[in-house]
A and B are shown apart, each in its own frame.
Chain A
Amino acid sequence: ELKVEQNPLFLSMQEGKNYTIYCNYSTTSDRLYWYRQDPGKSLESLFVLLSNGAVKQEGRLMASLDTKARLSTLHITAAVHDLSATYFCAVEPTPLVFGKGTRLSVIA
């Protein structure tokens, strides 16, 4: 059974700081997703990572995938308040298996 673990589950960080969220998964998979969810809202797709060594960047967020280590990271650079949300990683095969999420709060 595929298990997906995220850490940390809660993260409070100051504006302007950098931090990394980790996503480990237990069995082979070659497709990993990162989603953002604001309170009471749906999931917004951030990144799809399809192969070992894949790196994608959008604004202050950068995601990478190491399929050998079964690890993905979501790196936040110079955090701003607007990044406050819950971030989920999810792993295929279909159906998706989600981590529990990392609740990020960016404070001034």
Chain B
Amino acid sequence: NAGVMQNPRHLVRRRGQEARLRCSPMKGHSHVYWYRQLPEEGLKFMVYLQKENIIDESGMPKERFSAEFPKEGPSILRIQQVVRGDSAAYFCASSPTRGPRLTQHFGDGTRLSIL
């Protein structure tokens, strides 16, 4: 029973390039959350998605960032025209489809480095 799978684990991009981060939730989970962790900081919420819907994107920067969770396939966090300040660890979490929202299960994260 695989947990939340994120890839790649490490991603290096040059300024101005695009970064795509993928997250496959646990089996049976259809709620996905993305968080960003800057060095020496806690996790900050970015966006909450269900299949084909963005439920809450209040933590997403207004420009360059977008997220999707299609009917088939993983959730994608996309960062266009990356800048040095985008360097961080990006964590995805998922929670069950039904019942009370229980503990979110976290993936191992993608560490994004911008050169």
Q: Chain A interface (Cβ within 8 Å of chain B)?
A: 4, 33, 40-43, 45, 48, 88, 90, 92, 94-101
Contacts and interface: CB of A to CB of B under 8 A. Distances in A.
A33 B107 CA distance: 17
B1 interface: no
A33 B111 CA distance: 24
A99 B41 CA distance: 8
Contact of B41 (A40, A41, A94, A100): A100
Nearest to A40: B111
Contact of B108 (A41, A95, A96): A41
A42 B45 contact: no
B43 interface: yes
Contacts of B101: 92, 94
A96 B45 contact: yes
Contact of A99 (B42, B48, B107): B42
Nearest to B9: A40
Interface of B: 33, 35, 40-45, 48, 56, 59, 91, 101-109, 111
Nearest to A6: B42
Contacts of B102: 48
B67 to A, nearest CB: 13
A91 to B, nearest CB: 11
A90 B45 CA distance: 11
A96 B59 CA distance: 11
Contacts of A4: 42
Given A95-B33, A97-B45, A42 B56 contact: no
Given A41-B108, A42-B91, A42-B109, A98 B103 contact: no
Contact of B44 (A33, A43, A92, A98): A98
23 contacts: A4-B42, A40-B111, A41-B108, A42-B107, A42-B109, A43-B43, A43-B91, A43-B106, A45-B103, A88-B42, A88-B43, A90-B43, A94-B101, A95-B35, A95-B48, A95-B56, A96-B45, A97-B45, A98-B42, A98-B43, A99-B42, A100-B40, A100-B41
